[in-house]
Amino acid sequence: MLRRVAIQAIPTILGIVALNFLLLNLMPGDAADAIAGMSGSATAETMETLRRTLGLDQSLATRFMTYVANIAVLNLGTSSNYGVPVINVIMERLPNTLLLMLSAFFVAVTLGILLGWIMAVFANKWPDRLLTAIVLLLYSAPGFWVGLMAIVLFSARLGWLPSGGSETIGAGMTGLALLRDRVLHLVLPALALATFFVAIYARLTRAAMLDVLRQDFIRAAAAKGLHPLVLQFRHALRNALIPVTTVAGLHLANLLSGAVVVETVFNWPGLGRLTMDSLVARDFNVLLGILLLSCVVVIVTNVIIDWIVMWLDPRIEL
C-alpha cells in the first residue's frame, strides 16, 4: 500500500510543483517590482541589486532546479515579503486555517448527512420539498455573500457574534474564557465556508439513501421485522455514506481554496489571507509553499478516504 502511494504521489507532486512554478513565474512582475512599488520608487541599480539578492537574475530553468533541490531537503526558501524562512511563515498561519477547515468540514458533513437522511425518509413530502428549497439556496449562494450577510445579521444587527478576527485583541483572556472567545470568532467563518458543501452532501446523501432503500437486502431486512431506525441507520445509511465519503475527501482542497475568500471577509489570520498578501507582494516562495502543502494534504486525504471506504464496505479492496 505504501509503495503504491509513493509511486503515484511522488510524480504527482513533482508535476504540480513544476506547473505551479511555471504559472507563477509567467505572472507579470516579481518580488523586486513589488518591493519597489511599496517603497515608492527605485533606481535601475537598486532593482538590479534586489533581483540579484532574491536570485531573480538567474534563468527560469536554474531557479526551478534550485527550488526542486531545496524541496528535497525540506527547504522551501525564504520569504521576500517577511524575510524569514517560508516554513516558519506557513506554520504560523497553518493552525488557524486547519481549525477553520476542519470545523467547516465537520459542520458540512454532519449537517449535510442529517439533512439528506431527513429528505430521503420524507421523500416527495413537505419536509423534503422544504429542505430541497433550502439546500438549493445554500448551493446557489456564493461564500463571500453568505459571510457578508452573516456579519450584517449576527454581528451588526443582533450583536451575538464577532464580525472578524480569531480572538478579541487586547482582552488578555486565558483558560475557558479564551476558548469561548475563540469559538465565538470561529462560528461565522466556519458556517460561511460550510454552506456550499452542506448542500452538496445533503443532495448526495438523499440520492444515495433512496437508491439503497430500493435494494433487495433492505426489503428482506424489513420483512424480518427490523425497526425502521435500525434499517435506515445500520443498513441504508452506512451504504449510502460510501459516495459521500469519497466526495468529501475530494472537497478538502476546495475548502482550502474557499478559505481564501472567507478568511479575507472575516479577517481570519490563516493561509487564505497569507495567500492573498503573498500574491500582492509577488512572494512566489510562500505561494509555492502553500500550493505544495495543499498538494500533500489532498494526496494524504485521498489515502485516508480509501481506508474509510474499505471500512464502510469490506467488499472493496484497495
For 24, the domain range is 16-72
Residue 5 lies in a domain: no
CB 68 within 8 A of CB 292: no
Mean pLDDT within 112-116: 86
Is residue 113 located within the same domain as residue 21? Answer: no
Mean pLDDT within 125-148: 82
Mean pLDDT within 178-201: 85
Residues of the chain above pLDDT 90, percent: 0
Position 175 scores a pLDDT of 73
Residue 130 has pLDDT above 80, yes or no: yes
Position 34 scores a pLDDT of 67
Is residue 154 located within the same domain as residue 58? Answer: no
Position 223 scores a pLDDT of 65
Cα-Cα-Cα-Cα dihedral of 244, 250, 256, 260, to 10°?
-90
Residue 275 lies in a domain: yes
What's the gap between Cα 286 and its chain centre?
18
Residue 60 has pLDDT above 80, yes or no: no
In sequence order, what are the residues at sequence separation of 6 or more whose Cβ sits closer than 8 angstroms to the Cβ of residue 259? 97, 100, 101, 193, 268, 270, 271, 272
Domain count, the chain: 2
Distance in angstroms (rounded) separating the CA atoms of residues 99 and 186: 9
Residue 186 has pLDDT above 60, yes or no: yes
Residue 318 has pLDDT above 60, yes or no: no
Residue 43 has pLDDT above 70, yes or no: no
Is residue 148 located within the same domain as residue 108? Answer: yes
Position 62 scores a pLDDT of 79
Report the candidate in 195, 69, 68 with the shortest Cα–Cα distance to residue 142: 195
DSSP structure class, residue 157: I
Residue 87 lies in a domain: no
Is residue 128 located within the same domain as residue 267? Answer: yes
Is residue 159 located within the same domain as residue 209? Answer: yes
Residue 49 lies in a domain: yes
Distance in angstroms (rounded) separating the CA atoms of residues 199 and 279: 31
Q: What is the CATH number of the domain that holds 142?
A: 1.10.3720.10
The pLDDT tens digits of the residues spanning 224-254 come to 666 666 666 666 666 677 777 777 777 776 7
The per-residue DSSP string of 127-139 comes to HHHHHHHHHHHHH
Question: How does the average pLDDT of the chain come out, rounded?
Answer: 77
Position 71 scores a pLDDT of 80
Distance in angstroms (rounded) separating the CA atoms of residues 239 and 113: 12
Residue 171 has pLDDT above 70, yes or no: no
Distance in angstroms (rounded) separating the CA atoms of residues 277 and 287: 10
Residue 129 lies in a domain: yes
Residue 85 lies in a domain: no
Is residue 56 located within the same domain as residue 122? Answer: no
The pLDDT tens digits of the residues spanning 64-110 come to 888 888 887 777 878 877 778 888 888 888 888 888 888 888 888 88
Task: Tell me the range of 41-55, 136-150, 246-260 where mean pLDDT is highest.
Answer: 136-150
The pLDDT tens digits of the residues spanning 157-170 come to 887 888 777 777 76
Distance in angstroms (rounded) separating the CA atoms of residues 301 and 238: 20
